[in-house]
Each structure stands twice: as C-alpha cells, then as structure tokens.
Amino acid sequence: MLYSILGVVALTATTVVSSADAGLATYSLDLAQDTAVLGDVVSVDVYLSMDPLGLPFTGLSVAAFDIDVADPLGATGTLDNTSPGLGLAPSWSILGNPGSISGDDILGIEAGQFPPTNLNTSVLLYSFDYTVVDGSTRDIDFSAAWAAPVLVFGSSIFDVQPYVTGGETTTLSVVPAPGAAALLGLAGLAVRRRRRA
C-alpha cells in the first residue's frame, strides 16, 4: 500500500520541487563477517546515507526497498528478519513494514522516520540474519534494491524532496569448514594405502 502512495507522492514531488535538484540516497550493507562456513549465521545491517542537497530534515522521511540475495546455487540460505533486534531500526519503525521473505529475498520493506535524523551521515535502517545451509564454495552477493524514491518531507506534504536512490553490493564468501580439507586429505591417503596393499 505504501509503495503506491510513495509513487503518487514522488510524481507530485517532481513537479512541486523546482528550486532544488534531487539528492542522492545510497543503501549500503555491512556483513558481520566476510567469509562463512556451513551453519554460520551472518548478521547483516543496512544503512542509508543521503547527500546534503535538498530540504532541511524537519519532517517525515520514507524509504521503500527490497533485499536481494544473489546466490549462484539458488535460494540456499535461511533469512530471519523477525527475531529480537532484527527488522527495522527503532528510529525507522514509523509507517514501517519489515517486509516478507520470498526465497532468498526480503520484499516490500517500508521504513518511515519522524522526525528524521541527520541523514547526511550513514544511519542504521534495517537488520537481518542469513544462515548458510549449503557449504559449497561460492560467493553470495547482498544488495538493497530500491522500490521507490527516498522522500524527505519538510513542514507539509507539499514541501518534499525526492532522492534518487542507489545501492552497493556486498559479498559473502562461503568456504570449506576448518578441518574439512584435512579430512579430505586423510581420505585420499587412506585410498592410496588400500591400493598399495
């Protein structure tokens, strides 16, 4: 529902705001670890930063986005956005929807903040956990895909600044568990000894 409202407001905003160019909002993801093994639960934080263009941050800020997990093996991970401490950051929970999990993605996240904090610096927006359930060696890419422009409202709904949104991709490398290579080496040694006997 908020998606359609944002779309209408964004179209209106482009005609209302003529004295300032749209600013740039950037989603970035921070993984608690760069590598993982089978069974690891990796915590992921999503941050939002905005350049200083546009209106002062005096009113409501609204963001709508999806989390995209690109695993070359398909949907092989388990996502959690509902446990304590996960989902929308407390300061962004107004008008908020933590999104719904669909395969390896989280869709329909809607965040609102009133009054907004200073978004000229990176602020925590959202958190989720990703559990590795396939230990095959590979790289998994995480990104936040914007679904609607980030909007910053001033003193009224007509005093609004749309922000062009962008996102960064963060990579998690799944590696063999410690000792797995050693076990494979021992298995190979045992096969060689059997052949000799």
Q: Classify 185 as helix, strand or coil.
A: helix
> Does the pLDDT at position 153 exceed 70?
yes
Higher pLDDT, 16 or 121: 121
Residue 135: per-residue pLDDT: 95
Question: Of 97-101, 115-119, 191-195, which has the strongest mean pLDDT?
Answer: 97-101
Average pLDDT over residues 64-77: 92
Domain with residue 78: its CATH number is: 2.60.40.680
What's the domain count of the chain?
1
Whole-number Å distance between alpha carbons of 69 and 82: 17
∠ at Cα 57 (51, 63), nearest 5°? 70
To which H or E segment does residue 189 belong? helix 180-196
Residue 88: per-residue pLDDT: 96
Identify the domain containing residue 25 by its residue range.
Answer: 2-196
Q: Classify 11 as helix, strand or coil.
A: helix
Residue 146 phi/psi, 5° resolution?
Answer: -70, 140
Residue 158 phi/psi, 5° resolution?
Answer: -90, -10
> Does the pLDDT at position 16 exceed 50?
no
Give the global pTM: 0.80
Residue 193: per-residue pLDDT: 56
Residue 116: per-residue pLDDT: 62
> Does the pLDDT at position 80 exceed 90?
yes
